[in-house]
Amino acid sequence: MTPLDPDTTFVLGAQDPEMREIERVVSDAGLVCLHAAAAGRRCTPQTAYAADGVVRVGSGGIARQAVLRPAVPAVWVECRIVGREPRVRVDHHHPGDPGYTAAPEHYLQGSSLGQVLALLGREPTETQRLLAASDHCLTAAYQGQCPGVDPHELLFLRASWKAHIMQRTLTDVMAGILDAAERVRRQRDSVSGESRFLDPTRVPADLPEGAAYAGVPVRYRAWMPDGTVKEMFKGGTPEAIEAFLAEHRAAGREVYGNPYRGYGGAYWPA
């Protein structure tokens, strides 16, 4: 589908900085954007791959019911709609996705934003490179492994976004990230090479970002709103992530992750 059919509709998954930029780019190209929905509400990361319809999100974040006509060529971006197949799938989360195995140096081919830009025949801007690298392989990007990505610019971009979303000052966020980076360096185990924060009540707020900035693999746990506990492992080698996932699968826990992108997670039932 090159060039894209002018009737192509992009169906977008859960909102994050990368998805927000994807929507802007697609709309700027004059193509239609809809949002995957479950039970009439825009999907979340938990429901994006079991959506049952689409909505159109307007100003103020208000979602209105929409219809995806069967004959329209569609591109799924980090989502799936039950009973429908897209013309093109843009994703990097699951085995078989176009960007699943992409290494850090190929972050543009790996990231969903980079895949969308390629479909549209556009070259990435500096900011788009930062967004693509941070979403596809954050730890590697902070360690200078992504061509065209300045780790210091990446830190400023991500800290600014966190400050905006969390209603914190930029100074507070930067201090939190740098403090977390120092803590993971101090707690790094010399044998495993990891830092572990397995008490959910004592996890620094900016731990994942700080660990990625420090380049230290980190395991930590968090309470979820439904009472489950989630253990996350980020920044590990593919072999370490595979071992983490296998360990939790063997214990009968639900797992997710991508060893090529350096992250994994597991859930304990409430």
Query: Is 2 inside a domain boundary?
Result: no
Domain boundary residue, one of 142, 177, 202: 142
Domain boundary residue, one of 79, 109, 142: 142
Range of the domain at 211: 161-268
Q: Given the structure tokens 């360096």, which residue do they identify?
A: 185
The ranges of the chain with pLDDT < 50 are: 1
Reported as half-sphere exposure (CB side, CA atoms, 13 A), residue 141 has a value of 27
First to last CA, the chain: 45
Strand order in the sheet with 254-258: 195-197, 218-223, 229-234, 263-268, 254-258
Calculate the alpha carbon distances from 263 to 70, 170, 243 in Å: 36, 26, 12
Tens digit of pLDDT for each residue in 36-78?
999 999 999 889 999 999 999 877 777 888 999 988 999 999 9
Q: Are residues 176 and 66 in the same domain?
A: no
- What's the CATH number where 216 sits? 3.10.310
Query: Is 243 inside a domain boundary?
Result: yes
Q: How many domains, in total, are found in the chain? A: 2
Q: Are residues 83 and 51 in the same domain?
A: yes
Q: Are residues 180 and 257 in the same domain?
A: yes
Domain boundary residue, one of 108, 142, 176: 142
Q: Given the structure tokens 């826990």, which residue do they identify?
A: 253
Specify the pTM: 0.90
Q: What is the pLDDT of residue 30?
A: 95
Query: Is 137 inside a domain boundary?
Result: yes
Q: What is the pLDDT of residue 1?
A: 41
Q: What is the pLDDT of residue 109?
A: 97
